[in-house]
Amino acid sequence: MNAPVARRRTRGTATEEVWIAFAGRGEMAWLRLFRPGFRHCFAALADAEGWTLVDPLSGRLVVQRLAAPRDFDLPGFWRRAGFRVLGPFTPTPPRPSLLPPLLPATCVTACLALLGRRRRFLLSPHALYRTLHAELAAGAN
């Protein structure tokens, strides 16, 4: 029997890209409080080996390695499915903090954490969309 080979992965390298998708419908009744078209957000991380989906659902975090090669156009697939998609973003390296995050665990805070960003007052998917869209338009990443 062959022993599994451990591979060292480098976090936050230039080969990693994050794409954020915004969904218009939410299954929970309280999500109707958010703007139509922006009731949920989720992300995919593309690295040299493929795609990893990060979908923060209510009460559960889904992290799943997709059976799709790196050259598969996942953002295009999502767009064709009716989602708004922003990216690519390069995740920032981890940095120390004096205090832990004090915001509730939501889809927005999960996407921000995946990007390595801290924004205190981004509470809705639409606010996240506006902020990230402005960053892309300004050429910042």
Report, as an integer, the average pLDDT of 2-17.
52
**Do 10 and 77 form a contact (C-beta atoms < 8 A)?**
no
pLDDT at 6: 37
pLDDT in tens, 61-72: 999 999 999 999
Per the domain annotation, does 11 fall within a domain?
A: no
Predicted confidence at residue 140, as pLDDT, reads: 58
> Is 34 contained in some domain?
yes
Domain assignment present for 121 = yes
Looking up tokens 């999960």, which residue turns up?
110
Q: What is the pLDDT at residue 141?
A: 56
For the record, the structure tokens of 74 come out as 């996942």
Assess if residue 4 is contained within a domain. Answer: no
What pLDDT shows up at residue 33? 67
- Asked whether residue 86 is domain-assigned, the answer is yes
φ, ψ at 60 (rounded to 5°) = -160, 140
The answer as to whether 81 is a domain residue is yes
Residue type, 101: P
pTM of the model: 0.81
Q: Please give the average per-residue pLDDT across 81-91, as a whole number.
A: 95
Reported as a single tens digit per residue, the pLDDT across 37-61 is 788 999 999 999 999 999 987 778 9
**Does 28 have pLDDT greater than 70?**
no
Q: Is residue 67 part of a domain?
A: yes
Beta bridge partners of 57: 60
Domain total in the chain: 1
In a domain, 83, yes or no: yes
Mean pLDDT of 64-85: 96
Round to whole Å and give the CA distance between 34 and 25. Answer: 10
What's the domain range around 122?
Answer: 17-90+102-138
